[in-house]
């Protein structure tokens, strides 16, 4: 049904064994962040299917439910105020948010 309505190819996939893929990852047209327990093989498979680089990581001081603390598009990302500097660097890197005027926003971080 989704394939017909949106006119796109649909792939069934899990993220680290979880069927709620929208909760355990965040994607843009430039990259993606997935649950930290996602295997290298699954990351490679998803990266090939989606044709974007992917990394496993966390937000908000180790939260594995990525969507709880991160919203991202091709130009910017918004994350929870508990997201650490290391997590921010991973997010900026995988989503290529250091190009030009794009960036990442969180409480107290610009």
Sequence ranges of the domains in the chain: 2-105
pLDDT of residue 109: 46
In SS3 terms, 78-96 reads as EECCCCCHHHHHHHHHHCC
pLDDT of residue 110: 44
pTM metric for this prediction: 0.85
Select from 3.40.630.30, 3.40.50.1370, 3.75.10.10, 3.30.70.260 the CATH code of 2-105: 3.75.10.10
* Local confidence pLDDT in tens for the 110 residues of the chain: 889 999 998 888 999 999 999 999 999 999 999 999 999 999 999 999 999 999 999 999 999 999 999 999 999 999 999 999 999 999 999 999 986 555 566 554 44
Contacts of 91 (CB under 8 A, 6+ apart): 33, 57, 59, 70, 72, 77, 79, 83, 97, 104
Work out whether strand 76-79 and strand 103-105 pair parallel, antiparallel, or are unpaired. Answer: parallel
């Amino acid at each position: 049904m989704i394939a017909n309505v949106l006119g796109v190819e649909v792939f069934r996939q899990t993220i680290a064994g979880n069927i709620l893929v929208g909760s355990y990852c965040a994607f843009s047209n430039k990259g993606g962040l997935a649950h930290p327990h996602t295997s290298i093989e699954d990351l490679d498979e998803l990266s090939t299917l989606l044709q974007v680089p992917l990394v496993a990581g966390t937000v908000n001081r180790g939260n594995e439910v990525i969507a709880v603390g991160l919203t991202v598009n091709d130009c910017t990302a918004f994350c929870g105020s508990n997201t650490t500097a290391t997590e921010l660097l991973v997010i900026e890197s995988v989503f290529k948010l250091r190009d030009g005027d794009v960036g990442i926003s969180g409480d107290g971080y610009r």
